[in-house]
Amino acid sequence: MSKIVKVNKGKQGWGGPLTLKATDELKYVVSVTGGGIHPVAKKIAEMTGTTAVDSFKDPVPKEETMVAVIDCGGTARCGTYPRIGIPTINVKVMSPSGPLAKFMTEDIFVSGVTPGDLENVSDGETQELAATKSESETQSGNEDINNPKDKITVNDNITVTAIWKDIQ
């Protein structure tokens, strides 16, 4: 049985909850916070049996990224990872804003998160949350998997620059 983690929004945070489940393909928790691996990323990796990596030092392909943990008070990183389909946890309190705000939806983005906002859940609870997520994905459908700009790898500031140029 896989370990499943529910990520709730923090005090005065926004979005979520996110449900994270590692697979053979989704095996990394990327920390894009500067200064190493953030405690939230470390705890998620411990709870799910995945590997936490400092994305600035050791970038991994987006196809292998289960979740990105960021500390962005602005708009660029906050929207970058949701834009490419990676669930995003912002440890700073903020709500969607800026040019990438349309990608920061409650089903893929959560903010204000601390290690205390993480909890283990059972498969039964996960199925209920997945059904809700499935409905919202069907409604949004704004990703084009055949579009080369949706195949950018998670690679520190290069991703931010590439997407920023693309949307202007």
Using pLDDT thresholds of 50, 70 and 90, give the confidence band for residue 152.
very low
Measure the CA–CA gap between 161 and 104, rounded to whole angstroms: 18
134: left (phi over 0), alpha (psi -120 to 50) or beta: alpha
- Mapping DSSP onto H, E and C, the string for 14-59 reads CECCEEEECCCCCCEEEEECCCCCCHHHHHHHHHHCCEEEECCCCC
The mean per-residue pLDDT over the stretch 70-76 comes to: 81
- pTM here is 0.74
Measuring CA to CA, which residue among 18, 42, 28, 22 is closest to residue 155?
Answer: 28
**Given the residues 52, 53, 68, 72, the one annotated as active site:** 72
- Hey, what are 1's tokens? 């049985």
- The helix/strand/coil state of 100 is coil
For residue 78, indicate whether it is catalytic: no
Is the pLDDT at 78 greater than 90? The verdict is no
Measuring CA to CA, which residue among 135, 60, 74, 71 is closest to residue 105?
Answer: 135
The proportion of the chain whose per-residue pLDDT surpasses 70, expressed as a percent, equals 71
Q: What pLDDT does residue 90 have?
A: 95
